[in-house]
């Protein structure tokens, strides 16, 4: 990794900020803010790691970081857009509820397809060596 001496302290501060600010931010319950901030924190964490990792990187590592970015964005933004969580049927994906589309299924299917595709490409290239 590149010069990351400040990464640990910054991540620790952001973890505590997430926890402490979720207790007093207006508009949603503390649990909702904790969930929202957690999704965005996951996205920022994955973006940071993707930016700081040395090149070349494993294809699976890159895929994992992009999946974390997309999942964090989905989690944080969809919860932010649901003002009354009691309207959402128990166990339903929040983005599915908001859009009326099977976003959760499509994201899982695409992410699984990406991972399987990368494994298949690496397996094929390893068999040739």
Neighbour count for residue 53 (Cβ, 10 Å): 15
Average pLDDT, the chain: 91
Domain annotation covers residue 44: yes
| pLDDT computed for residue 1 by the predictor | 62
pLDDT band at 129 (very low <50, low <70, confident <90, very high): low
pTM for the whole structure: 0.87
Domain annotation covers residue 83: yes
Domain annotation covers residue 1: no
Give the separation between CA 115 and CA 121, rounded to whole angstroms.
Answer: 10
pLDDT band at 2 (very low <50, low <70, confident <90, very high): low
Asked if pLDDT for residue 39 goes beyond 70, the answer is: yes
Give the separation between CA 62 and CA 124, rounded to whole angstroms.
Answer: 19
pLDDT top residue among 1 and 115? 115
Domain annotation covers residue 2: no
Domain annotation covers residue 48: yes
pLDDT more than 90, % of the chain: 77
Q: How many structural domains does the chain have?
A: 1
Q: Which domain holds residue 67?
A: 7-128
| pLDDT computed for residue 85 by the predictor | 93
Cβ proximity of 81 and 98 under 8 Å: yes
Domain annotation covers residue 96: yes
Can you tell me which residue has the tokens 């859009």? 99
Out of 78-82, 115-119, 121-125, least confident range: 121-125
Give the separation between CA 55 and CA 2, rounded to whole angstroms.
Answer: 10
Domain annotation covers residue 99: yes
């Amino acid at each position: 990794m590149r010069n990351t001496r400040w990464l640990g302290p910054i991540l620790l501060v952001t973890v505590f900020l997430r926890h402490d600010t979720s207790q007093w931010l207006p508009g949603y319950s503390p649990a909702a803010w904790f969930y929202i901030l957690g999704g965005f924190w996951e996205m920022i964490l994955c973006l940071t790691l993707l930016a700081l990792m040395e090149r070349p990187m494993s294809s699976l590592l890159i895929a994992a970081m992009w999946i974390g970015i997309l999942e964090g964005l989905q989690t944080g933004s969809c919860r932010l857009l649901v003002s009354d969580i009691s309207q959402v049927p128990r166990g339903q994906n929040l983005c599915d509820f908001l859009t009326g589309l099977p976003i959760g299924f499509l994201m899982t299917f695409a992410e699984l397809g990406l991972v399987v595709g990368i494994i298949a490409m690496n397996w094929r290239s390893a068999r040739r060596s």
